[in-house]
C-alpha cells in the first residue's frame, strides 16, 4: 500500500506504522544523496515554518533551519523570551495564530501534552522537536545511522545504558519495537521506563518479531550488543538537585571500554548529544569539581574511538528532519 503522510503531525513514533517510518527513512536517504551531490531540492518553495523552542538546542534547531532552507522555505525561530506564548497568550490561541501564518510548526519544550495541544489547535502539521517524554526526530536519525553502519535494522541487538525513562530512552524503546531491533534497557530499576509504555512496546515488538528486555545487570545487558547507546544523566528541565542521586545510580552504567569489549565485534557507540565525556563544558567542569568525576555517561576514550558514530548521527538529524517536513507538507 502506498504511504501518504501529507498533513500529518509528527508527535511521537507510536503514531506511525513501520511502513511509514520506513518511508521517512528512505526519503531521508534520498535527500542525503541529493545534498552530497549538490542537487537542489527546493520542493517546498514559498512555504514558511516556525520553530518554537522552550528549551535550548544546537542540533535540532540547526537541522530544522538548514533543512527548511534547503527545501526552499522561510524559517522563523522563536525562543522562550521572544514570544507571548504562555505568558500573555494561551497555547491554544498561539497555535491558532501561528497556524494562520505558517505551513508547519516545530515545538521543543516540556510536557508532551503541550505539543499535543499545539497539534490540536494549529490546523497545520506540528513536529515534536523534543518533549520530556519523547524525542521522535532523534529516532529517525538514529535508525538511519544504524542502517548505514550495520546494513540492517531487523535483528540488531540494541542496548541503551543510563536513564531509560527519559525522552530518549522511551523513544528508543518504541523505535526499536517498531522496526524490529531487540531493545535492552540496561539501567537501575529506579530508572526503568514506565510499566505501561514497556507493555505497549512489548506488544509492538511481538508484532515485529523482536524483543524488549529490562536489566540492571551490566554484563548481561551489554553482552553481544551491536549498538550501545547512552544519553546524559540529567535531562533539560530537571532540577540541579538530582545530580548527586543520578550520579550515584548511573555511574555503574557508564559506557566504557569494558562495556564495549563485552559487546559484539564491530559494535557501534551512539549518543544523541550533547555529551559529558570530558570537563570541557561548564557543567562538566562543575560536576568534576563537586563530585570528582571527569567523565559521565561515556568515557572520552569510547566517545573518541573508531566505534563511535555520534557525528554521523548528528548529521543525519538534518536529512531525517528534512524528510519529515517534506513528507508532511508536500
| Distance from C-alpha of 300 to C-alpha of 42, rounded to nearest angstrom | 40
Position 297 contacts ligand NVA (CB under 6 A): no
CB of residue 236 to ligand NVA, shortest distance in Å: 4
Stretch that binds ligand NVA, among 43-51, 102-110, 231-239, 244-252 (CB under 6 A): 231-239
Binder among 67, 115, 272, 309 for ligand CP (CB under 6 A): 272
Q: Write the interaction track for ligand NVA spanning residues 157-186; mark x where CB under 6 A is met and - where it is not.
A: ---------xxx------------------
Does 324 bind ligand CP (CB under 6 A)? Our answer is: no
Nearest distance, CB of residue 57 and ligand CP, angstroms = 3
Q: How far is CA 180 from CA 146, 177, 212, in A?
A: 12, 6, 10
Among 25, 98, 130, 177, binds ligand CP (CB under 6 A): 130
Per-residue string for binding with ligand NVA, 251-280, x by CB under 6 A? ---------------------x--------
Q: Which does 58 bind (CB under 5 to 8 A by kind): ligand CP, ligand NVA, none?
A: ligand CP
Q: Residue 311: count other Cβ atoms within 10 Å of its Cβ.
A: 10
115 contact, one of ligand CP, ligand NVA, none, CB 5-8 Å limit per kind: none
Query: Of 134, 114, 111, nearest to 60 (Cα)?
Result: 134
Which one, of 108, 160, 119, 164, lies nearest residue 15 by Cα? 119
- Annotated catalytic residue 319: no
> Reduced to 3 states, what is the DSSP secondary structure of residue 63?
helix
Catalytic residue among 231, 246, 277, 319: 231
Does the footprint of ligand NVA cover residue 235 (CB under 6 A)?
yes
Contact set for ligand NVA, span 102-141 (CB under 6 A): 130
Phi/psi at 238 (nearest 5 deg)? -85, 145
Catalytic annotation present for 135: yes
Helices then strands, counting H and E runs in the chain, come out as 13, 9
Nearest to ligand NVA of 28, 314 (CB atom): 314
Q: Has 69 been annotated as catalytic?
A: no
Strand order across the 126-128 sheet: 74-78, 48-53, 104-108, 126-128
Contact between residue 91 and residue 117 where contact means Cβ atoms under 8 Å apart: yes
The answer to whether residue 138 forms part of the interface with ligand CP (CB under 6 A) is yes
Residue showing cell 530508572: 191
Residue 262 · residue 255 · CB < 8 Å: no
In three-state form (DSSP H/G/I as H, E/B as E, the rest C), the secondary structure along 223-265 is: CCCCEEEECCCCCCCCCHHHHHHHHHHHHHHCECHHHHHHCCC
164 binds, among ligand CP, ligand NVA, none (CB under 5 to 8 A by kind): none
Query: Which residues are at the interface with ligand NVA (CB under 6 A)?
Result: 130, 166-168, 231-232, 235-236, 272
Query: Which residues are at the interface with ligand CP (CB under 6 A)?
Result: 57-60, 130, 138, 272-274
Enzyme catalytic residues: 108, 135, 138, 231, 272, 317
Amino acid at each position: 500500500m502506498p504511504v501518504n503522510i501529507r498533513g500529518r503531525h509528527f508527535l511521537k513514533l507510536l503514531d506511525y506504522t513501520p511502513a511509514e517510518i520506513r518511508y521517512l527513512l528512505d526519503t531521508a536517504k534520498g535527500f542525503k544523496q541529493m545534498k552530497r551531490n549538490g542537487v537542489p531540492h527546493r520542493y517546498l518553495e514559498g512555504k514558511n515554518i516556525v520553530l518554537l523552542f522552550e528549551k535550548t538546542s544546537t542540533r535540532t534547531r540547526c537541522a530544522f533551519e538548514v533543512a527548511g532552507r534547503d527545501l526552499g522555505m522561510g524559517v522563523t525561530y522563536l525562543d522562550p523570551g521572544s514570544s507571548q506564548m504562555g505568558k500573555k497568550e494561551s497555547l491554544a490561541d498561539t497555535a491558532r495564530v501561528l497556524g494562520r501564518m505558517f505551513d508547519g510548526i516545530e515545538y521543543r519544550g516540556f510536557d508532551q501534552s503541550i505539543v499535543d495541544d499545539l497539534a490540536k489547535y494549529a490546523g497545520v502539521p506540528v513536529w515534536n522537536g523534543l518533549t520530556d517524554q519523547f524525542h521522535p526526530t532523534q529516532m529517525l536519525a538514529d535508525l538511519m545511522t544504524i542502517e548505514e553502519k550495520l546494513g540492517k535494522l531487523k535483528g540488531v541487538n540494541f542496548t541503551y545504558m543510563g536513564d531509560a525513562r527519559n525522552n530518549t530512552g522511551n523513544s528508543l524503546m518504541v523505535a526499536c519495537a517498531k522496526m524490529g531491533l531487540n531493545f535492552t534497557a540496561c539501567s537501575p530499576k529506579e530508572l526503568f521506563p514506565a510499566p505501561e509504555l514497556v507493555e505497549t512496546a512489548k506488544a509492538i515488538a511481538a508484532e515485529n518479531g523482536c524483543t524488549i528486555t529490562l536489566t540492571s545487570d551490566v554484563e548481561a545487558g551489554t553482552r553481544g550488543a551491536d549498538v550501545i547507546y547512552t544519553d546524559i544523566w540529567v535531562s533539560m528541565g530537571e532540577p540541579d538537585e538530582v545530580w548527586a542521586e543520578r550520579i550515584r545510580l548511573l555511574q555503574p552504567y557508564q559506557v566504557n571500554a569494558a562495556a564495549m569489549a563485552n559487546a559484539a565485534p564491530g559494535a557501534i557507540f551512539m549518543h544523541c548529544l550533547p555529551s559529558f565525556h570530558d570537563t570541557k563544558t561548564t557543567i562538566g567542569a562543575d560536576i568534576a569539581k563537586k563530585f570528582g568525576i571527569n567523565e559521565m555517561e561515556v568515557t572520552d576514550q569510547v566517545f573518541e574511538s573508531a566505534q563511535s558514530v555520534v557525528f554521523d548521527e548528528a548529521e543525519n538529524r538534518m536529512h531525517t528532519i528534512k524528510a519529515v517536513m517534506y513528507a508532511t507538507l508536500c
